[in-house]
Amino acid sequence: MKIEILTTQEMADADRLTIAAGKPGAALMEAAGRAVADRAAHLLRRRGGVKIEVLCGPGNNGGDGYVAAHALLEMGFDVEAHTLGDPRALKGDAAWAYELWNRDAPPIDLFDIEQADLVIDALFGAGLARDLAGAARDLVERVNAWRRAGGGCVLAVDVPSGLDGATGAVRGSAIEADETLTFFRLKPAHLLMPGRALCGTVVCADIGIAGDVLDAIAPKAFHNIPALWRAALPLPRIDAHKYSRGHAVVVSGHLAATGAARLAARGALRAGAGLVTVASPSDALLVNATALTAIMVRKSDGPKGLADLLADPRKNSVTLGPGLGVGEATCALVEMALAPGGSSRAIVLDADALTSFAGAPERLFAAIGSANGPVILTPHAGEFARLFGRDDADKLSRARHAAEKSGAIVVFKGPDTVVAHPDGRAAIASNAPAWLATAGSGDVLAGVICGLLAQAMPAFEAACAGVWMHGEAASLFGPGLIAEDLPETLPKVWRALAGSPAVP
């Protein structure tokens, strides 16, 4: 499975390196156009119909469209190509593709969409650098209205026109596609919202670019799927025992707010930690002890109590934040857990552990800088803004900047969760279903990551795996999901990961 995600510049570099190695650009365009034709034929045979309208833009995306139109005509479909701009002004490979079409390409204002069974959107590719306006925007909105009103089918080439390939943002207006066919590797827009929702099903075609060009490009963004982190996944050895599988600690809030910590603790246990302890304030000991069985409960009042508990070097991962309360008391607990000295341990900071530093983020970042082990922050959008501020940058850039600024691995949660490392590596998840939008699901995620860290999984890989497993559990459970269901569905996720090489 292809895990690398390429920016528009990196994709251009892949094309350039391939052409420099001896493969003509026209050959790449022909392969791309024929791949589009094959997908269009597949869609029409599945849905029925024969009439295809190809909308061709003024650049190489339009060239792909002309090649596809020619190939579909050879297959026996009823095909028309319409152009945005004067096709006689095309240059290079796109001009060659128009000559290959060798038929009229009327302007888009003569396009009769009501006659189409399938529209191929080959107007603009991933490199769009401006907002759509005028005739282009009107056409996009006409196609969308047709699709919504009558269930028409749209196949987008590379990315839906109007979508910024680097960010997933809409540039004025964008095509709403049923399927998007891209080439060689995915682009950020295929996974980041709102692009992910506009692309429909994304298919990546091989057009003859050799994988070894990636050695020169050295991409640092990846699709968060098991192929990215499977080799680091902690599967127990035959001689394993509970102490060899690590000891996770989850710090509980006071009596009225203990459920979040228990959710996190259950997530850590189901993630495979050999032992899990809830560090509980005295006033919450009874309720935590009554509610837990396989998870241990230990008294821990304030920073001194937590320090005493963590003096045991076998307790090698800690989660703070779920239900912990917002304020100076939580700041003190976090700073104690991050304090240098003693044995190395991994720290996961979520929810209240982040919000408590909203007025003084540099204080938190300084503490992270002194930590004797990896630190992972797991903010949702609101917590992220409180800690790192708001700006107009895309989610991938914001997550990377936050990781660099804080010195921690940042898990920027959402339907397109981004995991970013301070060294620039980043991974985007695409398997989170809408059912995850339920109270407590983030607490479980923090616990799952903590449980993987307890087993000595490298921190970036643990964060990525935790995000994917969390989303997969939600998908497997489906409608009616509540946070308590997530840990109990993780065994099905583990079973597939541990026993089936077919998991991507």
pLDDT tens digits along 86-105: 999 999 999 999 999 999 99
Residue 504: pLDDT band (50, 70, 90) is low
261, 267, 388: which is closest to 325 by C-alpha?
261
Which tokens belong to 170? Answer: 């809409």
- Among candidate residues 158, 190, 223, the one where a domain is terminated: 223
The CATH number that applies at residue 215 is: 3.40.50.10260
279, 298, 318: which is closest to 454 by C-alpha?
318
Residue 372's identity, in one-letter code, is N
pTM for this structure? Answer: 0.95
Q: Please count the structural domains in the chain.
A: 2
310 pLDDT above the threshold of 70: yes
pLDDT tens digits along 409-467: 999 999 999 999 999 999 999 999 999 999 999 999 999 999 999 999 999 999 999 99
- Among candidate residues 170, 190, 223, the one where a domain is terminated: 223
By DSSP bridging, strand 426-428 and strand 78-83 are unpaired
Same domain, 191 and 284: no
What integer best gives the mean pLDDT of the chain?
96
Quick check: is 466 in a domain?
yes
Same domain, 277 and 204: no
Quick check: is 493 in a domain?
yes
pLDDT tens digits along 34-92: 999 999 999 999 988 899 999 999 999 999 999 999 999 999 999 999 999 999 999 99
List the end-to-end C-alpha distance of the chain, in Å, as a whole number: 6
Q: What pLDDT score does 109 carry? A: 87
Quick check: is 359 in a domain?
yes
CB 281 within 8 A of CB 311: no
CB 100 within 8 A of CB 63: no
Q: Percent of the chain having pLDDT more than 90?
A: 93
Same domain, 118 and 211: yes
Same domain, 156 and 36: yes
- Among candidate residues 223, 256, 277, the one where a domain is terminated: 223
Distance of alpha carbon 224 from alpha carbon 469, whole angstroms: 10
Quick check: is 237 in a domain?
no
Which tokens belong to 471? Answer: 């989303």
Expressed as residue numbers, the domain containing 65 is 4-223
Same domain, 13 and 96: yes
Q: What pLDDT score does 289 carry? A: 97
